[in-house]
Amino acid sequence: MTPPRAALPRTRDDFHAARGVLVVVRDPPPAVPPARGQPPTVPADPAEGVEILVAVWDDGSVTGLCGHVDLGTGLRTSLAQIVADELDVPFDAVAMALGDTARVPNQGPTIASASIQISSVPLRLAAAQARGWLVERAAARFAVARDALATRDGVVFVAPDPARCVSYGELVAGGHVQLELDPTTPVKPVALQRLVGQPVPRVDLPAKAAGEAVYVHDVRRPGMLHGRVVRPPYVGVDAGDFVGNSLVAVDEASIAHLPGIVAVVVIRDFVGVVAEREEVAEAAARALRVEWKPWPGVAGLADVKNALRTNPATRRVVAERGDVDAALASIAQPLTREYLWPYQLHASIGPSCAVADWHGERATVWTGSQNPHTLRADLARLVALPAPAIEVIRLEASGCYGRNCADDVAADALLLARATGRPVRVQLTREQEHLWEPKGAAQLMQVSGGLDAEGRALAYDFSTSYPSNAAPTLALLLTGTVAAQAVAFEMGDRTAVPPYAYAHLRVAAHDMAPILRASWLRGVSALPNSFAHESYIDELATAAGVDPVAFRLRHLDDPRAIELIAATTRRANWIPHTAPQGQGSDGNILKGQGFAYARYVHSRFPGFGASWTAWVADVEVDRVSGEVQVRRVVVGQDAGAIINPAGAVHQVHGNVVQTTSRALKEQVPLDARGAPEAREWGAYPILSFREVPVIEVVTMPRQGEPPLGIGEASSVPGTAAIANAIFDAIGVRLREPPFTPETVRAALGVATPAAAAPALAAPAVPTGSITPVRRRRRGAWSVAAALVAGALGMAGALLGWRPALAPVGASDPSLFTAAALSRGREVAAAGNCAVCHTAPGGVTNAGGRTMATPFGTLVTTNLTPDPDTGLGRWSYAAFARAMREGISRDGRHLYPAFPYTAFTRLSDDDLLALYAYLMAQPPVRNEVAKVDLPFPYGRPAIAIWNALFLDPGAYAPDPTRGAAWNRGAYLVEAAGHCGACHTPRGALGAERGGGAYLAGAMVEGWEAPPLTAASHAPVPWTEDEFFRYLRDGHTREHGSVAGPMAPIVRDLASLPETDVRAIATYLASLHGPAGDTAAVARSLAQASRGIAVDSEAARLFDGACGACHHGGDGPVLVGRNLPLAHYSSLHSTRPDNLLRVILEGVRDPATAQIGFMPAFHDALSDRQVALVAAYLRARFAPDKPAWPDLESAVARIRAHPTP
């Protein structure tokens, strides 16, 4: 199928050069003169010629062009409806071009829901004009009067004789006709519209649902590289001397080990890495060592309200009537209030992404920007090219609701493409998008006013402080292209004038520079302003003892508003009330209903009015937990004519969900420096499916009226409606969203329920205390004797007394029997040789892994039979001596990190089998560094150490025990060398004996937990549980294996089941009788369920961990969701294992069924990890004391990652 011609042209020139087309163009509108306090607009470049609005092609297809973009609002569909309707072509004949700078008109940024209201107007006129021309042409062809003709589905026909017809395609065939837009062209009357006003299905969804749509994230160019940026420490701040001036040094050597690095690009504070593969770029951005000057932080942001009060501002009175001061001086019932809006995020689900290609004098940038023409001007400035030399191609992206990092990342990509001369795709990380997106600004609204003696609203003295700006594209600032100055804009005035007839009114905007990097977010300053207006009038109504809706109606004279309010409250079954708490309670649940109304007035003051919106919210508040549930929202909307009613309803739904989320949950947490702290969704939760209210939309029938913006208008009164409903429920007024459970509890004066659980009523666990004693085979005297011998031995060693054993020729593997080899494989597996003797990413058993010990760092040796670098020249005698006595073939002592103190217990048969197995492996040449620890830990000292701690000789079975027990003890003590990790060591590094055997120890930063009755496991161990834990790597009653134990379990998989069972038998014998473990497990899991107190920590856990870790009421995902209450790591005296798992994740689990866990290292701060850990401890190990000083424990573990 050949694509329609309408979709083909990429540039204006393509349109101009084409034959068989009718185009409607206009001269670019003159540049808007700069307006005080407004961001500068980017005018069209006259050099680019006329702007093309509509093209009708000879194949019957039609191109519509618009400078605005579809942000998931359905704009592409609505505009196509308008064009198809005016032109009388089938809907699917129209292809819309949106946002691409090389072809569409410059209509400014896609903001303020103005696309339909303003930007569609020329498009519609152009379509109407094209249709007029086509009719004219047909009239000449048929020699009839124009009004004898009609159009339908791309055909002009003679109305009384439809057989006489001609298609648009035929009419434009062969020629190139260009019409100048005539703004007086009549458009269709409403009665004749066929598509406008119909719920036409969205054009973009089928491809999106099929995975065929190409988002900006999906752009792939030939030879494309992948880039990542490294951002400076002044997180989310874009004004100040330090911006562009903080870089000290970049150490490129720190990523030299990564393959396929193409470039490290450094321009002042701009730092980027480019690699052939994305995961390498990602690793490089993480590993690159960058030194920055220290950044002091943002002073005073700990108290946002005060920061807004004291931020230097210019007061600008935008509306005044009556005499406010006089009225306030004599007011009967004064009421002074402050309302505070928090910093919030756009919080796009997809972090921003862009691709750029550099062609020398020209460049192409693929972007998801909401403002392609403004972006093009920024890019031109950044790389000093004329704007038309940069083609900005706009693709769909993740919804944005204002301005996220889309522009920033486009500039990043362009810099990296210029540096490499190849196309580069830059993907921001989730953390970067959260931290650096220009925030929706905090805002402070102050009102003085009150009631007159008759209870009417008399005066309203309103001021609003809004620290927003245009958030210059970051790379311009980081590279020093543009000075990083905070500029105050006049933007706080949107919807600043209340809709009510206050007799005396004064509205002032306190224009101020940004504090944090900020830009418009859905509703801009109007949303907070309306929150104040609509909360305040509710407070007045309560003070007057009048129903809040009735009170508003007394002060409203706009008939469309009054009709809308009537229709909305009727649908919502509004319960008139003059005081709160009329609905009573249901147990702990208090119910309330709230109302709010607004007409969104946007753009430069006095601005344009968009839709009228009214909300009725029904809420339920839990008076103990403080949780607020918005149960139902009825939204009434008068948006004038609606282009696509289905689309309009979807938009309202989206606005309700997002506004409810912002009202209940959203606030950018700030750290001690005043910098944004949220880097992922746990720290910045948004509404979940569980919390979505029932939403009903009441649409006012206004098809004859001009269409008005709906993209954000329906958000505007929402927060006040919810606050008013909460007031109705609890009788306490909340003036500072978000209305989190903590806020509500504080308002109600309810003590925060302790995170700690009520005492656990677990079934009694029999606590037999059996202390395993490693049975030493000799008494104190023999130790003393050995010591003497050892001293002699040491002397001998110094004299070279331990002989080297002669090298032998390569062993012939065929000499070993298959049975021996297979047994040897099992011994190797039980001994986990490969775990230590394999370097990360290296060949199995070829050595080279470094091992940190308290005495220094060692490197493991090559166990393959390579003659020069491995065991190839080792005789069995040499091998057995090493295993039993810790002496290398050359006579040197081996360091006891090599657990010969355990291997000495191996039976002769097993030792020989192991030797056979190792010799039968393919030899691998791998020279590993020989390490000699410094004095006093040198090799000679080991002779003394051995005298003290080595008790050579094979395992001697305990005749009082059964075969399975003895087999298990043998495996644990000998090959398994479990004690090497699980037994604490004394000062000299030897495993401690007696009751300390297997009593738990720290290894490479992990706790090897006690295997004895000293276990922290909350559910007692049984033989079965040990067996399953070692076989599967996880059990319901003990959670899953992690850290250095994971490879051990993997190795055990090659052991016969009977051997693993024997280990379990032995280990279980170290514990007392277990009792009813299932009941203990159940009660632990049960108890943890009741302790889910909503708090910052609970939200962090839920948002960051809750997809995988939940009590059965969440998603089912690949991997095991085991009860956290059963993990010994949560019950241990040390938090180390838990903290390590949170920071480092589980990347290489013991078995595939366990599943994977991401590392939260880059996503959570020390404070946040500590919060989560404390929460988990309190919730899942409620009978254990809180871990002390968690934050420094996190810092310590972060500083010493698992090697």
> Please, which of residues 1022-1061 interact with other proteins by CB under 8 A?
1047, 1050
In the stretch 1006-1045, what mask flags binding to ligand FES with x, by CB under 6 A? ----------------------------------------
- Please, what is the minimum distance in Å from the beta carbon of residue 1014 to other proteins? 32
Nearer to other proteins, 81 or 661 (CB): 661
Instruction: Pick the closest to residue 433 from 474, 405, 472 (CA basis).
Output: 405
- Cα(971)–Cα(973) distance, rounded to whole angstroms? 6
- Cα atoms in the 13 Å half-sphere on the side-chain side of 591: 10
Decide if residue 514 touches ligand FES (CB under 6 A): no
Using the minimum distance from each CB to other proteins, give the nearer residue, 206 or 606.
Answer: 206
- Strands 504-512, 457-466: pairing is parallel
Could you tell me the two tokens for 249?
A: 């040094």
Please choose, out of 511-519, 541-549, 619-627, 644-652, the segment that lies near other proteins by the rule CB under 8 A: 644-652
Judged by beta carbon, residue 399 or residue 499, the one nearer ligand FES is 399
Which of the residues 336 through 375 are near other proteins (CB under 8 A)?
A: 347-351
Q: Judged by CB, which is closer to other proteins: 984, or 1145?
A: 1145
* Residue 218 near which of ligand FES, other proteins, none (CB within 5-8 Å, type-dependent): other proteins
Burial of residue 979 (CB within 10 Å: 0-12, 13-18, 19+) is buried
* Strands 1034-1035, 1039-1040: pairing kind: antiparallel
Residue 682 binds ligand FES (CB under 6 A): no
Distance in Å, CB of 430 to ligand FES, minimum? 8
We find the least distance from the C-beta atom of residue 863 to other proteins, in angstroms, to be 12
Segment 316 to 355, residues that bind ligand FES, using CB under 6 A: 349
CB of residue 931 to ligand FES, shortest distance in Å = 42
- Closest contact distance (angstroms) between CB of 400 and other proteins is 8
658 binds other proteins (CB under 8 A): yes
> Nearest Cα to 1174, choosing from 1121, 1057, 1095?
1095
Write down the least CB distance from residue 10 to ligand FES, Å: 27
The count of C-alpha atoms lying within 13 angstroms of the C-alpha of 504, restricted to the half-sphere facing its C-beta, is 20
Cα distance between residue 973 and residue 983, in whole Å: 11
CA dist 514 and 494 (Å) reads 17
Q: Is 205 in the site for ligand FES (CB under 6 A)?
A: no
- Give the contacts of 740 (CB within 8 A, at least 6 positions apart): 626, 664, 665, 667, 1094
Q: How far apart are CA 192 and CA 1141, in angstroms?
A: 66
**Which stretch of DSSP H or E encloses residue 879?**
helix 876-885
Element (H, E) at 1024: helix 1023-1032
Size, binding site for ligand FES by CB under 6 A: 3
Counting beta carbons within 10 angstroms of the beta carbon of residue 146, is it exposed (0 to 12), middle (13 to 18) or buried (19 or more)?
Answer: exposed
Residue 760 DSSP class: P
Q: Alpha helices, DSSP H only, in 799-875?
A: 818-831, 833-837
Among 1, 47, 256, 1116, binds other proteins (CB under 8 A): 1116
Taking the least distance from each CB to ligand FES, the nearer of 1117 and 1186 is: 1117
Question: Which x/- pattern, by CB under 6 A, does the window 957-996 give for ligand FES?
Answer: ----------------------------------------
The token pair that represents 381 in the structure block: 């400035």
Nearer to other proteins, 616 or 687 (CB): 687
Does 333 bind other proteins (CB under 8 A)? Our answer is no
Candidate residues 39, 64, 72, 737; the one interacting with ligand FES per rule CB under 6 A: 72
Q: Please tell me the distance from the alpha carbon of residue 422 to that of residue 336, in angstroms, as a whole number.
A: 61
Q: Which is nearer to other proteins, 838 or 1088 (CB)?
A: 838
Q: Could you say which of 169, 297, 399, 847 contacts ligand FES (CB under 6 A)?
A: 399
* Beta-bridge partners for 367: 394
Q: Closest separation between CB of residue 1110 and other proteins, Å?
A: 8
Residue 350 C-beta: closest distance to ligand FES, Å: 8
Q: Which of other proteins, ligand FES, none sits in contact with 842, Cβ below 5 to 8 A by type?
A: other proteins
Residue 765's contacts (CB-CB under 8 Å, 6 or more residues apart) are 1020, 1074, 1075, 1080
CB of 75 to other proteins, least distance (A): 11
Binding to other proteins, residues 805-824 (CB under 8 A):
none
Partner that binds at residue 1151, options ligand FES, other proteins, none, CB closer than 5 to 8 Å by kind? none
Site mask for ligand FES (CB under 6 A), range 524-553, x = bound: ------------------------------
Q: How far apart are CA 1147 and CA 838, in angstroms?
A: 18
Over the Cα atoms of the chain, what is R_g? 37
The entry of other proteins, ligand FES, none that residue 656 binds, CB within 5 to 8 Å by partner kind: other proteins
Whether the upstream peptide bond of residue 43 has omega within 30° of 0, thus cis, is: no
Report the C-alpha gap between 633 and 698 in whole angstroms: 11
* Binding-site size, other proteins (CB under 8 A): 91
Contact partners, residue 768, CB within 8 Å, separation at least 6? 1013, 1071, 1072, 1073
**Binding to other proteins by residue 278, rule CB under 8 A?**
yes
Give whichever of 332 and 349 is closer to ligand FES, judged by the CB atom. 349
Site for other proteins in 173-212 (CB under 8 A): 201-202, 204-206, 208-212
Q: Does 398 bind other proteins (CB under 8 A)?
A: yes
Residue ranges binding ligand FES (CB under 6 A): 72, 349, 399
